[in-house]
């Protein structure tokens, strides 16, 4: 157990070192969520009466800001595993695989690094939201919000690491990731209240871990709870999701990297 | 005790047999080289020995631990330097070694002194805090090799350690390998398709071709077994070649002849006396000889005599799929 932690930290350290040296990507990756929050937030400002009808009395942009924070977390973490493919192509993976560290530690190290990076990106988006006038009644809430984003990204990066370990090429990876990322975002109350979704969509949305994360962050940011789902239930579902993803990702990753690339 | 031992090791990919029933053993402290062309099965064997590939059948042991049943014990005892340089460009030289140290569980209080020691050895101390992006190909390779021996493995695997490097850099790397071997007294298993490299570094060489080990011996013994001289002839055309050949084989000191179109290679023991006889026979058959040379045998000649073809000095990037396709065609 001790050595699993040490090995996970080794990989985590390596991933963050690499991230730090390739900083130019940080700003580029912020453009898309910034456009979402600035452009989409204003395009739909006319929907205020709709969101008021479900008990939310702020502006639309305040309603959707938590959604865009989660959007940032989703895409940063789901793209984050792509360097697994480079590692396999350029030999780092073989280097790690012939050393005594466990395969799970490689997956977990990558996941924890990705989740931290996702949280940093999300915090920058939170900053943009505040800068353009989103109201944030209780700044202390920033700590639990970040904790939730880290947790959520840890689970979500598992998807990325699994797909990257399974895919043999960049094309397969990006195909799978685009197929998964957008629907998971859209099928959640990130942009629109759960109560206003057609029934069948609401049912699907309730199977989506993104939904509970958005509800949690929105409640912490705005103080409005939505859809009658208690905080503890959302937290429980989020924890369960993360644990399942950690287990699944370690298993799939170990199985896949033992096959010749 | 052997450092490396394989028993009937076989690896096939689909219906292509990459490594075919090979058995060999490497003594502790030896530098052992696999010599063969691209696609001969060198890298595949090395990947089995380093626990990256599972053999289809047979057994491989590193310091008496099975690579399949006891993979973790094997991984604790080996260093593996891959054919491609695998150092992380974004990190500095020192950070790369630090990563390697952590991956190999070097005790915390020894990490820094070990890194200083190998940096000294490969003469990169002054560049240790520069990003690897700024390193030349030879420096990267040195750093890669340093990473492989940082944890003082019992067996160090070097897969084509100098492929793609210029000749000066290549010689420099050989010096480092010799230095490492002397300093740490480890067993080194290397693969190469450079004759000179095998000749220069290895205590013993296994010539591998088409997944089969053709011969294992020291470079000296191999060359001596060839007869002490080699005569190479290039004929103008292949007219009357067969009768010419059969007469040449009858010359007293000729041990073996290799033929390839208009090129003939004769392994002989008394060259100066053979050459006049060759001219005599060629004039009988009205064969025009363009060039003739008499040399000491090289490993190239050894390779030629065991495999029937020359090793191609081919630097093009190794592509396993393409090699398999090629092997398939050759076999059908």
Instruction: Say whether residue B248 is in contact with chain A using an 8 A CB cutoff.
Output: no
Closest CA to A61 of A194, A208, A149, A69: A69
Task: Report chain B's C-alpha Rg in angstroms.
Answer: 23
Q: How would residue B321 be classed by pLDDT, with cut points 50, 70 and 90? A: low
Look at B105 and A90 and tell me if their CB atoms are within 8 Å.
no
Residue B316 pLDDT > 80: no
Q: Which residues in chain A are contacts of B102 at CB distance < 8 A? A: 6, 10, 13
pLDDT at A77: 94
Q: Poorest-confidence range of A155-169, A246-260, B230-244?
A: B230-244
Query: Quick check: A21 contacting B, CB < 8 Å?
Result: yes
Taking CB atoms and an 8 Å limit, are A95 and B102 in contact across chains? Answer: no
- Does the distance separating the beta carbons of A98 and B99 come in below 8 Å? no
DSSP state of A37: I
Among A16, A148, A182, smallest CA distance to A69 is for A148
Residues of A in contact with B131 (CB under 8 A): 21
Q: Across the interface, do B103 and A17 touch by the CB < 8 Å criterion?
A: no
Q: What residues of chain B, 126 to 155, have a C-beta less than 8 Å from chain A?
A: 131, 147
Q: What pLDDT score does A228 carry?
A: 77
Residues 41-100 of A with CB under 8 A from B: 90-92, 94-100
Nearest CA to B254 out of B274, B236, B284, B282 is that of: B274
Question: For position B320, what pLDDT does the model report?
Answer: 52
Q: What is the per-residue pLDDT for B328?
A: 56
Question: Where residue B47 falls among pLDDT bands split at 50, 70, 90?
Answer: very high
Model confidence at B314, in pLDDT bands (50, 70, 90)? Answer: very low
Query: Of B159, B162, B195, B161, which is closest to residue B45 (Cα–Cα)?
Result: B159
- The mean per-residue pLDDT over the stretch A124-137 comes to 86
- Please tell me the distance from the alpha carbon of residue A29 to that of residue A24, in angstroms, as a whole number: 9
Asked if the C-beta of A166 comes within 8 angstroms of chain B's C-beta atoms, the answer is no
Residue of B nearest to A97 (CA): B52
Which has more confidence, A212 or A47?
A: A212
Say if residue B186's pLDDT is above 50: yes
pTM for the full predicted model:
0.83
Number of domains in chain A: 1
CA of A59, closest CA in chain B: separation in Å?
44
pLDDT computed for residue B317 by the predictor: 43
For CATH 3.40.50.300, the residue range(s) in chain B are 2-215
**How far from each other are the two terminal CA atoms of chain B, in whole angstroms?**
41
Q: How confident is the model at residue A109 (pLDDT cuts 50, 70, 90)?
A: very high
Model confidence band, residue B202 (pLDDT cutoffs 50, 70, 90): very high
Mean pLDDT of A59-80: 92
- CA-based nearest residue in chain B for residue A19: B90
Which class would CATH give B2-215?
alpha beta
Contact B62, B74 (CB under 8 A): yes
User: Hey, is the C-beta of B104 within 8 angstroms of any chain A C-beta?
Assistant: yes
Q: Whole-angstrom Cα distance, residue B297 to residue A70?
A: 71
The β-bridge relationship of strands B155-159 and B78-81 is parallel
Lowest-pLDDT range, A39-48, A119-128, B309-318? B309-318
List the beta bridge partners of residue B323: none
Report the pLDDT averaged over residues A249-260: 92
Q: DSSP states of A128-167 as a string?
A: HHHHTT---S-GGGHHHHHHHHHHHHHHHHHHHHHHHHH-
Q: What percent of chain A has pLDDT over 70?
A: 99
**Who's near B285: CB < 8 A, 6+ residues apart?**
B240, B243, B244, B247
| pLDDT of the residue at B322 | 53
The answer to whether the CB atoms of A10 and B99 lie below 8 A apart is: yes
pLDDT > 90? residue B269:
no
Residue B23: phi and psi, rounded to 5, are: -130, 125
| Cβ-defined contact of B100 to A95 (cutoff 8 Å) | yes
pLDDT of residue A1: 60
With cut-offs at 50, 70 and 90, classify the pLDDT of residue A137.
Answer: confident
| pLDDT band, residue A47 (cuts 50/70/90) | confident
**Which residue from A14, A218, A224, A192 is spatially nearest to A106, judged by alpha carbons?**
A14
- Residue B249 pLDDT more than 90? no
B52 vs A13: CB contact, 8 Å cut-off?
Answer: no
A·B CB contacts under 8 A: 66
pLDDT of the residue at B312: 57
Using the predicted structure, report yes or no on whether residue A184 has a pLDDT greater than 80. Answer: yes
Q: What does the pLDDT look like over B73-110, one tens digit per residue?
A: 999 999 999 998 899 888 999 999 999 999 999 999 99
What would the pLDDT profile of A16-27 be if each residue is shown by its tens digit?
998 887 767 777
**pLDDT for residue B257:** 87
By C-alpha distance, the chain B residue nearest A23 is: B90
Q: What pLDDT shows up at residue B116?
A: 94
Contacts of A10 in chain B (CB under 8 A): 99, 102-103
What mean pLDDT comes out for the span B181-187? 89
Q: What is the mean pLDDT of residues B13-21?
A: 91
Chain centroid to CA A232: how far?
Answer: 20
Is B105 at the interface with chain A, CB within 8 A? yes
Please list, residue by residue across A239-249, b when 16 or more beta carbons sit within 10 angstroms of its beta carbon and e when fewer do. Answer: eebbeebbebb
Residue A156's pLDDT is 95
CA distance B293 to B300: 15
Q: Which domain holds residue A210?
A: 2-257
Contact list, A3 vs chain B (CB under 8 Å):
105
Q: What are B293's strand-pairing partners?
A: B232
CB within 8 Å: B86 and A101 = no
Residue B313 in this model has a pLDDT that exceeds 70: no
- Return the minimum-mean-pLDDT range out of A72-86, B103-117, B137-151, B228-242: B228-242
Share above pLDDT 70 across residues of chain B, in percent, rounded to a whole number: 93
CA angle B172, B43, B147 (to 5 degrees): 45
Task: Give B227-296's CATH code, choosing from 2.40.50.140, 3.40.50.10490, 3.30.70.600, 3.40.50.300.
Answer: 3.30.70.600
Interface contact A91-B82, CB threshold 8 A: yes
Task: Choose among B202, B234, B164, B279: nearest CA to B34.
Answer: B202
| Locus of tokens 């949280």 | A119
Contact B132, B92 (CB under 8 A): yes
The answer to whether the CB of B271 falls within 8 A of the CB of B296 is no
CATH 3.30.70.600 in chain B, residues? 227-296
Q: Which residues of B touch A22 (CB under 8 A)?
A: 90
Choose, out of B45, B70, B103, B157, the residue to mutate when testing the contact with A (most A CBs < 10 Å): B103
| Closest to A184 measured CA to CA, from A228, A227, A152 | A152
Chain A residues close to B91, C-beta within 8 Å = 14, 17-18, 21
Per residue in B107-166, pLDDT (tens digit) is: 999 999 999 999 988 889 999 999 999 999 889 999 999 999 899 999 999 999 998 888
């Amino acid at each position: 157990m001790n050595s699993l932690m040490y090995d996970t930290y080794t990989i985590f350290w390596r991933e963050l070192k690499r991230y730090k040296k390739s900083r130019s990507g940080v700003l580029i990756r912020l453009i898309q969520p910034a456009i979402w929050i600035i452009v989409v937030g204003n395009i739909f400002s006319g929907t205020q009466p709709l969101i008021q009808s479900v008990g939310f009395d702020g502006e639309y942009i305040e309603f959707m800001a938590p959604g865009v924070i989660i959007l940032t977390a989703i895409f940063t973490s789901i793209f984050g595993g792509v360097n697994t493919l480079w590692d396999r192509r350029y030999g780092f993976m073989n280097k790690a695989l012939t050393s005594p560290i466990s395969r799970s530690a490689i997956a977990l190290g990558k996941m924890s690094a990705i989740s931290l990076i996702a949280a940093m990106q999300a915090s920058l988006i939170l900053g943009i939201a505040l800068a353009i006038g989103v109201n944030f009644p209780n700044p202390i809430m920033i700590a639990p919000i970040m904790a939730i984003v880290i947790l959520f990204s840890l689970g979500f990066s598992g998807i990325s690491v699994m797909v990257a370990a399974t895919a043999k090429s960049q094309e397969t990876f990006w195909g799978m990731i685009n197929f998964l990322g957008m629907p998971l975002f859209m099928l959640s109350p990130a942009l629109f209240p759960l109560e206003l979704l057609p029934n069948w969509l609401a049912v699907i949305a309730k199977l989506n871990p993104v939904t509970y994360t958005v509800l949690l962050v929105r409640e912490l940011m705005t103080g409005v709870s939505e859809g009658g789902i208690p905080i503890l239930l959302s937290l429980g579902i989020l924890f369960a999701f993360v644990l399942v993803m950690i287990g699944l990702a370690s298993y799939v990753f170990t199985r896949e990297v033992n096959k010749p690339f | 005790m052997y450092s490396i031992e394989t028993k009937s090791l076989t690896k096939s990919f689909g219906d292509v047999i990459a490594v075919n029933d090979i058995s060999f053993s490497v003594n502790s402290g030896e530098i052992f080289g696999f010599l063969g062309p691209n696609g001969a099965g060198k890298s595949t064997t090395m990947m089995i020995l380093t626990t990256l590939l599972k053999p289809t059948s047979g057994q491989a042991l590193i310091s008496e631990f099975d690579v399949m049943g006891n993979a973790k014990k094997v991984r604790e005892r080996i260093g593996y330097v891959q054919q491609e340089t695998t150092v992380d460009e974004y990190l500095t030289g020192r950070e790369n070694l630090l990563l390697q140290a952590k991956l190999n569980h070097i005790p915390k209080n020894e990490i820094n002194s070990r890194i200083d020691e190998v940096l000294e050895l490969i003469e990169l101390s002054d560049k240790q805090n520069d990003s690897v992006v700024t390193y030349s190909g030879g420096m990267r390779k040195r750093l890669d090799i340093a990473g492989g021996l940082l944890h003082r493995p019992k067996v160090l695997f070097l897969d084509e350690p100098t492929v793609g490097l210029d000749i000066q850099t290549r010689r420099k790397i050989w010096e480092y390998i010799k230095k490492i071997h002397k300093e740490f007294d480890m067993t080194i298993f290397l693969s190469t398709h450079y004759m000179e490299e095998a000749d220069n570094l290895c205590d013993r060489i296994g010539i591998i071709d088409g997944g089969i080990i053709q011969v294992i011996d020291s470079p000296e013994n191999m060359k001596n077994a060839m007869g002490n001289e080699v005569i190479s002839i290039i004929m103008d055309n292949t007219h009357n070649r067969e009768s010419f050949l059969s007469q040449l084989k009858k010359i007293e000191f000729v041990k073996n002849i290799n033929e390839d179109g208009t090129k003939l290679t004769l392994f002989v023991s008394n060259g100066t006396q053979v050459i006049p006889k060759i001219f005599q026979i060629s004039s009988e058959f009205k064969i025009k000889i363009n060039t003739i040379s008499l040399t000491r045998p090289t490993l190239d000649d050894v390779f030629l005599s065991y495999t029937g073809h020359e090793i191609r000095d081919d630097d093009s990037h190794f592509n396993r799929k393409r090699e398999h396709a090629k092997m398939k065609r050759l076999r059908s």
